[in-house]
A and B are shown apart, each in its own frame.
Chain A
Amino acid sequence: MGPYNAVMSVSGTLPPGAALRTIRLDNGLTVLVKEFHTAPLVSVWCWYRVGSGDEVPGLTGVSHWVEHMNFKGTANIPRDEMKGIVERFGGTWNGYTWIDQTTYLETAGKDALDTLLFIEAERMANGLYEPAECESERTVIFSELQGAENDPDQLLDTEVTATAFRAHPYRHPTIGWVEDLRAMTRDDLFGYYRRHYVPANATLVVVGDVDTDDVLRRADANFGRIPAAPAPIRRRPAEPAQIAERRVHIEREGATAYLKFAWHAPAVTQPDFFPMLVLDAVLTGAKGTSIWTSFRGAPPQRKARLYTALVERGLASMVSGSIVPTAEPFLYNISLTAMEGVSLRMLEDAALEAIERVRQDGLTAEEVARAKRQLRARLVFENDSVTNVAHQLGYFETVVGPGFVETLQPAVDAVTVEQVHAVARSRLSRDTRTVGWFQPAGRRA
């Protein structure tokens, strides 16, 4: 084993288990290991600090396409073995790309550990990027894009995000613009892969029924021979301050009207982030912080401000809010589905009136306390398995840095009523919002 820098972490947000161990291999790869012996399973995630927020114009979508290519075979794993090799251990595998990160995971029986580490090491260093496979994947991605376009709410989300940002690369969709996807070459993909898939830009997370020292030995054996290379330096243009409301109207064939608001949100490391997380819970119900598990069910929201003002009054059939921990300021979104027969104008006025009331009159101590209790429960629910704990460890290590995941619960606890009111006033103003309408063709506003 190489000279590791061992760091012990205190227990906080995560379920107890054994202590988290963090080490860095000689080539710069960070390895996080946490033992749980409740089930004979291991979850392995390999995270890369690269996402669509690192893309330049003309190459939008390259991070996501590279993720697809990394399931298409390596020097030592043929393309048609990439999934089967995991599944023969009864394992599940997946990957995703978003604005700050790309990640790959497998959860399988604990006997699969060495195989899973081998797959991830191959993926990091030995991807094939055969030209014919790149071409075949181009049309698969077009199909993914078309599927998303079939959903009016997603279409509206893409347009609103692109309108809310002028300069920052968070503005384009992670899947990329179709024109860029048509033009991109195999060399664009391979070059991007080689620059970003280096040990110093990655974090390996192993959680489950394992022995920590054994994992560290095996990680060194599988990844230690990958040569060191400098991690790319992240250079993203800053977003200029928004000075006036922006609006997007989509009118096309459809059955239902959708409304979406976007305001500029704080980055997870900014002081406003946790007050915003609590504000969102007050307005639309708490989701927690995991983008991996938060889709699993509706948030508790029957007493939330916008639910009572809009859904209970029959103006909307659905309201949802979204604030996600991101490396740089992203968006706070509120999305609404208009009830049959309710105009978008009426719905927008009612939503803004409810938000203005919070900004003018503030919130009750009881609502803020309820929102914090909801977040406390969600932080437990989102860490309910080795797979989901591994996600949270890797996500925060990659997006923020060491130790942050353990500070989530204390940070929520520390939020005050005054802070929540203050972020409502400072961040949900008219001049900094983008409003999107999806209007079924032929229906009056």
Chain B
Amino acid sequence: MTTAVTSGLSPVRRVLPNGAVLIAQETAFSPAVTFVVAFHAGSLYEPDARPGLASFLGRVIDRGSEGRSADAIAEALDDRGVTLKVTTNRHVITVSCTCLAEDFEDMLALVSDVVRQPVFPAAEVEKRRAETITAIRQDQDNPAVRASEMLQTMLYGAEHPYGRPAKGGLDAVERITRDDLLAFHRARFAPGAMSVIAVGDVPAARVFECAGRLFGGWNAPTPPLHDVPPVAPAADRRVVFIPMPAKSQTDIAYGFVAINRLDPAYYAYWVMNNILGQFGLGGRLAENIRERQGMAYYSFSAFDPSFGPGPLVIRAGVDPRNVERALAAIDAEVGGLGTEGPTDREMAETRQFLVGSIPRMLETNQSIAAFLHTVEFFGLGLDYDRRLPGLIAAVTIDDVHAAAAAVLHPERAAVAVAGPAFARDFGEASCS
């Protein structure tokens, strides 16, 4: 066995003359490769009149290209046991693929066709539209999704790209046309807005040769990156209740707008979030709500910043009769950490956990590819996995207390509750 990842990553990066970024990391655990091809083409870049367009494009981009029919693509994938996963977030559309090493060149060629020359056949657009509508209806019946989407809207506003539902609404999806898809593709898919990252049992030289051949001749102007619009700070607490009387459990989404990924305080917020709602079963939140009070199977917090200020979101699923108690417990933990800051022991434990978990974060080809994409996307540098322990270790207890004091204010929280509870169970007057 080779030992490519024994002491940190050793990725190699090349930029083609047309601006395309290529990154390769060889690993040798199994004869497989994972590659991702990512574009700055997330929902941030949708025309205001076409919410849901980026997400919809992700569903249909791999259903026919100038060189390959939908059927030919289906056959090529199924013959090799491969699936393409297309994910769309606020900033990026990512096509990812895991295949046997022997199929790497064929699959990269297929993905190159798909991202460069999709044709969005009318029949495919209609089929995926119907699937999207069913998926939106499923979301509407899911208390966890309803609470989370409502919270995003409460935090950012319905018109903000971080505030509107990524799939768009039913009406919006009905309105999307094939011409919209072609225009969005033309506007956002270009080599200068693309990163190709390949991780697995393939030498870097072969990745560069192959990707250079497939993408090197692609010329299109690099589209501009958009700034994330500013977000108005919250002045007071807002609570919204979404009644779903047929459900058994109530979902709570509770949160704040925090900072962006490149803010110098990022590492302090990361440590703070780990203490609040990650460490162990789910930090202080799970210790209170699950372990001491036995109220919920899950309660945790998540912090997801990007170029715009990311949300710090607390989630819990509780018995409808316990909504008030659970909210009181969340308020107590949020307020407590904000006021008093973390303990020395929490600092030590979380530092050890975050530093120690870096090798595990890089355990599979998929996780390495995701890590390298983040590194490229935020410009963190190819040695980031080796610098990261120092960045985490440098966070002081005062830094974390300052982060907590800045954001954790129950009196300014946005709270979305979806489930069978009656509004009066937790104060009708506060519901909008």
A58 contacts the other chain (CB 8 A): no
B430 contacts the other chain (CB 8 A): no
CA separation between A143 and B291, bound complex, in Å?
13
Contact of A37 among B1, B31, B295, B298 (CB under 8 A): B1
A136 contacts the other chain (CB 8 A): yes
CA separation between A318 and B29, bound complex, in Å?
33
Using known A-B contacts A150-B142, A376-B81, A380-B31, determine if residue A90 contacts B295 with beta carbons closer than 8 Å: no
B85 touches A79 (CB 8 A): no
B98 touches A304 (CB 8 A): no
Contact of B82 among A15, A109, A377, A388 (CB under 8 A): A377
Which residues of B sit under 8 angstroms from A298, Cβ to Cβ?
A: 83, 85
Which residues of A sit under 8 angstroms from B290, Cβ to Cβ?
A: 140
Contact of B81 among A15, A41, A286, A340 (CB under 8 A): A286
Instruction: Give the shortest distance, in Å, between B115 (CB) and chain A (any CB).
Output: 18
CA separation between A108 and B98, bound complex, in Å?
25
Using known A-B contacts A136-B291, A254-B246, determine if residue A91 contacts B357 with beta carbons closer than 8 Å: yes
CA separation between A280 and B32, bound complex, in Å?
24
B10 contacts the other chain (CB 8 A): no
Instruction: Give the shortest distance, in Å, between A392 (CB) and chain B (any CB).
Output: 12
A89 contacts the other chain (CB 8 A): yes
CA separation between A209 and B357, bound complex, in Å?
15
CA separation between A300 and B79, bound complex, in Å?
9
Using known A-B contacts A38-B1, A298-B83, determine if residue A90 contacts B355 with beta carbons closer than 8 Å: yes
B357 touches A143 (CB 8 A): no
Which residues of A sit under 8 angstroms from B432, Cβ to Cβ?
A: none
Instruction: Give the shortest distance, in Å, between B376 (CB) and chain A (any CB).
Output: 22
B323 contacts the other chain (CB 8 A): no
Which residues of B sit under 8 angstroms from A38, Cβ to Cβ?
A: 1-6, 27-29
B85 touches A297 (CB 8 A): yes
CA separation between A182 and B280, bound complex, in Å?
27
A161 contacts the other chain (CB 8 A): no
A381 contacts the other chain (CB 8 A): yes
A231 contacts the other chain (CB 8 A): no
- B1-31 CB contacts (< 8 Å) to partner A: 1-7, 27-31
Which residues of B sit under 8 angstroms from A337, Cβ to Cβ?
A: 134, 138
| Binary per-residue interface labels of chain A (13-31) against chain B in the complex, 1 for a CB within 8 Å, 0 otherwise | 0011100000000000000
Instruction: Give the shortest distance, in Å, between A380 (CB) and chain B (any CB).
Output: 5
B356 contacts the other chain (CB 8 A): yes
B4 touches A139 (CB 8 A): no
Question: Which residue of the partner chain B has the closest CB to A40?
Answer: B359
Contact of A254 among B75, B134, B141 (CB under 8 A): B141
A303 contacts the other chain (CB 8 A): yes
- Interface centre among B5, B85, B248, B349, by most chain A C-beta atoms within 10 angstroms, is B248
CA separation between A80 and B281, bound complex, in Å?
10
| Binary per-residue interface labels of chain A (362-399) against chain B in the complex, 1 for a CB within 8 Å, 0 otherwise | 00000000100111111011011111100000000000
A98 contacts the other chain (CB 8 A): no
Which DSSP category, helix, strand, loop or mixed, fits chain B's interface?
A: mixed
CA separation between A256 and B135, bound complex, in Å?
9
A256 touches B137 (CB 8 A): yes
Using known A-B contacts A37-B1, A87-B280, determine if residue A136 contacts B360 with beta carbons closer than 8 Å: no
CA separation between A138 and B130, bound complex, in Å?
42
A137 contacts the other chain (CB 8 A): yes
CA separation between A384 and B99, bound complex, in Å?
12
B247 contacts the other chain (CB 8 A): yes
Which residues of B sit under 8 angstroms from A37, Cβ to Cβ?
A: 1, 3, 6
B133 contacts the other chain (CB 8 A): yes
- B310-362 CB contacts (< 8 Å) to partner A: 317-319, 349, 352-360, 362
- B359-386 CB contacts (< 8 Å) to partner A: 359-360, 362-366
Which residues of B sit under 8 angstroms from A88, Cβ to Cβ?
A: 349, 352-353, 356
B143 contacts the other chain (CB 8 A): yes
A386 touches B359 (CB 8 A): no
A373 touches B356 (CB 8 A): no
Which residues of A sit under 8 angstroms from B27, Cβ to Cβ?
A: 38
Instruction: Give the shortest distance, in Å, between B8 (CB) and chain A (any CB).
Output: 10
B100 contacts the other chain (CB 8 A): yes
B67 contacts the other chain (CB 8 A): no
B296 contacts the other chain (CB 8 A): yes
B353 touches A374 (CB 8 A): no
Which residues of A sit under 8 angstroms from B387, Cβ to Cβ?
A: none
Using known A-B contacts A37-B3, A90-B353, A303-B74, determine if residue A317 contacts B130 with beta carbons closer than 8 Å: yes
Which residues of A sit under 8 angstroms from B82, Cβ to Cβ?
A: 300, 377
A264 contacts the other chain (CB 8 A): no
Contact of A380 among B3, B32, B247, B249 (CB under 8 A): B32
**A-B complex: 8 closest residue pairs judged by Cβ atoms:** A90-B356, A377-B81, A302-B74, A253-B246, A136-B294, A374-B81, A255-B141, A146-B249
Residues of B participating in the A interface, judged by any CB pair closer than 8 Å: 1-7, 27-32, 73-75, 77-83, 85, 98-100, 127, 130-131, 133-135, 137-138, 140-144, 245-249, 279-281, 287, 290-298, 317-319, 349, 352-360, 362-366
Not counting A142-B319, A256-B141, a sample of 11 additional A-B residue pairs whose C-beta atoms are within 8 angstroms of each other reads: A90-B353, A107-B360, A108-B360, A143-B318, A147-B248, A147-B297, A147-B317, A149-B248, A300-B78, A301-B78, A340-B130
For this complex, 12 residue pairs linking A to B, each with C-beta atoms less than 8 Å apart, are A17-B1, A88-B353, A140-B290, A140-B296, A143-B249, A149-B249, A298-B83, A298-B85, A301-B78, A339-B130, A340-B133, A373-B80
